[in-house]
A and B are shown apart, each in its own frame.
Chain A
């Protein structure tokens, strides 16, 4: 199982003391042979370009797989966003498209309602961990 992080998930992981439930999930991910996945668009939301301010997030980013959003993924995200019939962000749609493209994944998010709406649009049962 892979853990797909949105900006809230990445920020929580970057804390000096990440939340216990996030560490429990990451232990499950590690023990199952999985990895942490951060869609590259999340970097836009999570960093400022100021190395000092970004150092904790950048440190964790270096421990993750950076998943690029190429045209097929972008189209998939667009379709999910349209089908969800909610005012969800394009970034959240990319997070869900990234998660449903994997055989097994969980989404770590600070916006569980929108993520769950997008997963419903994808008709996929993916665990959502709220931070």
Chain B
């Protein structure tokens, strides 16, 4: 099973309503941890756990797209668009992009 398949399985379970939670210990940069705590205390986010879940879910779907594109390029390397074409399209669409297209963090 590929990393993409494992990620897809996890997201599928999540979208089907698996609500069982599990404590996870993680370290965040201090300013971010402070901001999350303050937002939670102000009621802007329901809880730091809810905010982390939302951010991680967004990140996971974005990674899944990246991995899916890499699956396509693995079969057909000639299909990978040039960074220039991607930057041009991003500019036309008025979208801000992070880092070089095709980069897998």
Q: Interface residues, chain A, CB within 8 Å of chain B? A: 1, 16-18, 20, 23-36, 60, 62-66, 104, 106, 127
Residue of B61, B64, B79, B86 near A28 (CB, 8 A) is B86
Given contacts A32-B98, A36-B61, 4 further A-B contacts (CB under 8 A): A23-B72, A30-B69, A35-B62, A62-B8
B interface residues with partner A (beta carbon < 8 Å): 4-5, 8, 11-12, 15, 58, 61-62, 64-69, 72, 75-76, 79-81, 85-86, 89-90, 93, 95-99, 101-102
A-B contact number at CB 8 A: 85
Q: Out of A20, A25, A63, A106, which one reaches B67, CB within 8 Å? A: A63
Is B65 within 8 A of A26, CB to CB?
Answer: yes
CB atoms of B89 and A24 under 8 A apart: yes
Partner of A27, one of B64, B86, B96: B86
Q: Which B residues touch A62, using CB under 8 A?
A: 5, 8, 12
Complex contacts, B97 vs chain A, CB 8 Å: 28, 31-32
Return the chain A residue nearest B83 by Cβ: A27
Q: How far is the CA of A60 from the CA of B62 in the complex (A)?
A: 14
Shortest A54–chain B CB gap in Å is 16
> Which A residues lie within 8 Å of B15 (CB)?
65-66
In the complex the two chains form, is B101's CB within 8 Å of A35's CB? no
B96 lies within 8 A of A32 (CB): yes
